[in-house]
Chain A
Amino acid sequence: MELANIEKLVEKYLDATTTLQEEATLKQYFTEGNVAPHLQEYAYLFNYFAIAKNEKFTKTIKLEPKKSKKKNLKLWSVAASIALLISVFVGQQQYKEYQQRKEAERIFAQVSKGLILLSTNLKKGEQAVANLYTYENTVNKLLK
């Protein structure tokens, strides 16, 4: 390609108005050697681009090991939350039972206290009635 044309393309290149094809032409010209001295700096530039394009990712891409690790973490968190839920549930149940038992004991104590009161009072009444009977008996005896 003649120099005038290359110079024109270089101008366009600097203004970023070249097409990919034109850039390919430039790349070819500057990497082939035989570069006009006043355009030498472009040779460095395009040679660098060519070299840089050849760099490769040499390691193999792993998709599995990290995945299982993260999955494990997820599983563990699920297990932990379930355990927490169960323990809260069971704890609440137990607490309710405890409350109920306490309530029952309280009621039992009240009831028995009432019954005791009732029975002592009943005894007093019985005594009085007994006294009344003896009184009536003696009165009857005297009257006869």
Chain B
Amino acid sequence: MKQSDFLKVVLPFKDKVFRLAKRLLVSTEEAEDATQELFFKLWKSKEKIADYKNVEAFAMTMTKNYCYDRLKSKQASNLTLVHSNYKEKDASLDKKVEYRDSVNQVHQLIENLPEQQKIIIQLRDIEEYDFDEICKMVDMKPTAVRVALSRARKTIREELIKKHNYGVS
């Protein structure tokens, strides 16, 4: 497999890999490094790639595992997560800013979900993958995926309602 062929296969989902990495690793720099590293790994195993029916799903699974490893090693070396600078500005009077803040809040809320739910929300609601594909990527049973997804969605919704009723934004 030549480099140009490889890139043709791999480039269409580079953004998805990056977004999943960012969802899990939080900081953009780390996600960029992870993406770079993952594509390098894929390039190294390019001989095997030809055999996979679904390279994209394989890459997503790899991304998930790689990010888990990164998170684990980060905890082991006692590094705290780099705090993401979501603009949690002071309540503005401007209606538009308020709206944008609420949208940003969703990011924060997803941030607070357990890892597994984070991944599933990312794969389903943002990347819009099939349930079958998600099951393969996260190596879970369909019912378990549905339960986790439903739980994640309900949590986010409840938190949003709570924030709005208390007039945070």
Contact = CB atoms under 8 A, between A and B. Distances in A.
Interface in A78-100: none
A52 B121 CA distance: 12
B62 to A, nearest CB: 14
Contacts of B149: 16
A40 B40 CA distance: 43
Contacts of B105: 44
B160 A41 contact: yes
The A interface is mostly helix, strand or loop, or mixed, namely helix
Nearest to A56: B15
A135 interface: no
Interface residues of A, number: 28
Nearest to A13: B153
A57 B17 contact: yes
A144 interface: no
B147 A16 contact: yes
B160 A17 contact: no
A41 B125 contact: no
Nearest to A54: B15
B125 A23 contact: yes
Interface stretch (B31-39, B66-74, B75-83): B31-39
A52 B107 contact: yes
Interface string A42-84: 1011011101110111010111001100000000000000000
Nearest to B154: A14
A67 B37 CA distance: 11
Contact of B126 (A42, A53, A56, A61): A53
A23 to B, nearest CB: 7
A15 interface: yes
Nearest to A70: B44
A55 B19 contact: yes
A49 B125 contact: yes
Nearest to B128: A20
A40 B164 contact: yes
A33 to B, nearest CB: 10
B136 interface: no
Nearest to B125: A49
A53 B127 contact: yes
Contacts of B147: 16
Contacts of B104: 48
Nearest to B169: A44
B35 to A, nearest CB: 6
18 contacts: A16-B146, A23-B125, A23-B128, A41-B161, A42-B157, A44-B103, A48-B103, A48-B104, A49-B126, A51-B103, A55-B18, A57-B35, A59-B36, A61-B14, A61-B39, A63-B3, A63-B39, A66-B40
Would you list the 6 A-B pairs with minimal beta carbon distance, nearest first?
A: A57-B18, A48-B106, A16-B150, A16-B149, A41-B160, A44-B102
